[in-house]
Amino acid sequence: MLDKIEELVEDETGFEVQKRSRRLRVGLPCSPLSLIFDETPSDDVFMALHCSALRIFNGDRTDLHDVCSWLAASFLRWLGVTSSALIDIEHPATMIPAELYGRYLIPSQPEGYVLAPSDAGLHLAGDMIGYLAMFEHAAHTHTTFWHPKFESALEPTHDYDAARSEADDWAQGLASLLGERASRDDIYTQRPSAGWFYYRTTDGAIAVVESKQLVDFLELLGTAPDEEIAGINGFLYTGKSFDNFIPRDALKIADRIFGQDGTLAASSCPAAEATVVPLENGVILAKGHRAVLLRHDTGVAGFARERSLVLERNRLEQERLFPPSEFIWTDEVDGGRFERLIYDLLECEPGVHEVRAIGSSREGDGGRDLVVSWVTPPVPGEAIPQGLPPARERRIIVQCKARKRSVGRSDLGGGILDTLFMYHAEGYFLATSSQPAVAVIDLLEEVRRRGDYFTGWWGRTEIEQRLRRHPQILKRYADIVRPAP
């Protein structure tokens, strides 16, 4: 499939292809952004964007890696192409925790990051190459730093200065706003060629840029206010086929950085007060001359947890967020049949290499597990060592739970970690005919945060989405689920 993708690049003027082993890299030689295609063991293709600033910029280029990846992710979401996860690449030489050697942008919603070796997968690859060309044009038009042209008289050392008194004063003022979130190990700089000041906390949870040019560009890419739905602990975003969530805690931090007294956190519509761009593992907010990236669980997991709280609170909001189902499920879903349904859907899932049943079915809800060889992206917060691909194949345990009610923590038996240790697995996945309770979503996120484990789930909504894509599978399971008349 890589050969066919390479042929598609010929249609984009100026794009070059670098081919190595089972990888293609596509992009403009004068750009910090490139598109990579990695062939997986199952002959699928893992697709991601890679951001690495040009070496024409001297000194630490953390600020460029941060800003350039912000813009690319914001543009792709604005187009309705994908909601991306920002995955940091560790610096191989320095011992400074906050420095970025580069960054991957992993397409997460709606299609994902794995392309099937088919016409449909090839079509998606061609689309992404075209979107990259569109973004290159937009970045060139709206910024001066994307395709830089240094004058011969300008010494490279003038481009980067981490020790200017102006930068010191600015950083001290920002650190005072951040309070306990600031640290002596945070990094900051002034980059005259880009016209900005930059600050990043040691843990990478907060990054701030002072730049009117950047804010103006982000304003064009912000989320429309009509995408917002007020939840319990923050705001849900359901536009452009993406499900995202922004907690009010993030808005409180942004208020401090913008130097305002709770305007965003108290607002009923933050997108009307500032530029808002929710991603998979963070949110970009911009106002005045400042733009900020705040790391939070803003993707599907955060959305699902908040959605569950909204369901418990208000039937009217439930009807708006969850339209009537196009399927009818039997009152009592047979556990064995449900497990087989999940088996068949997993075999069609991009990135899945192998599915096997393990254990014995002794429970009435189909307690037998499945083990899946699945190509997955890095877990949020996982840094990728330089030279290693961003995706890898993991051994993932899948537990199937046929339930009328939500699946609670007590339904998971001995516990997720016990299951992972028993099967020497690198990930855990729950499939349920109802939906996971909030406590289960929290538990899955806690397991992911505490170790290098992939966690995820399918509830009834996610299963029905896949049944629409695979009507041939739906026909086999008419005894437990069928189309509504």
- How would residue 284 be classed by pLDDT, with cut points 50, 70 and 90? very high
Same domain? 222 vs 280: yes
State residue 158's pLDDT score. Answer: 46
Residue 100, domain extent: 2-142
Confidence check: pLDDT of 367 > 50: no
Higher-pLDDT residue of 411 and 105 is 105
User: pTM score, two decimals?
Assistant: 0.80
Same domain? 245 vs 348: no
State residue 160's pLDDT score. Answer: 56
- How would residue 131 be classed by pLDDT, with cut points 50, 70 and 90? very high
Confidence check: pLDDT of 155 > 80: no
Residue 231: CB partners within 8 Å, gap ≥ 6?
A: 245, 306, 307, 309, 310
Residues 408-435: what's their mean pLDDT? 89
State residue 448's pLDDT score. Answer: 87
Confidence check: pLDDT of 413 > 90: no
State residue 208's pLDDT score. Answer: 98
- The tally of domains found in the chain comes to 3
Residue 266: CB partners within 8 Å, gap ≥ 6?
A: none
Residues 83-106: what's their mean pLDDT? 88
Same domain? 333 vs 478: yes
Other CB atoms within a 10 A radius of the CB of residue 328 amount to 12
Confidence check: pLDDT of 64 > 60: yes
Confidence check: pLDDT of 354 > 90: yes
Same domain? 478 vs 374: yes
Lowest mean pLDDT among 207-216, 259-268, 446-455: 446-455
Lowest mean pLDDT among 252-261, 374-383, 472-481: 374-383
Same domain? 137 vs 183: no
Out of 142, 174, 193, a domain closes at 142
Confidence check: pLDDT of 282 > 90: yes
- How would residue 309 be classed by pLDDT, with cut points 50, 70 and 90? confident
- How would residue 161 be classed by pLDDT, with cut points 50, 70 and 90? low
The mean pLDDT value of the chain amounts to 88
Q: For residue 380, what is the domain's CATH number?
A: 3.40.1350
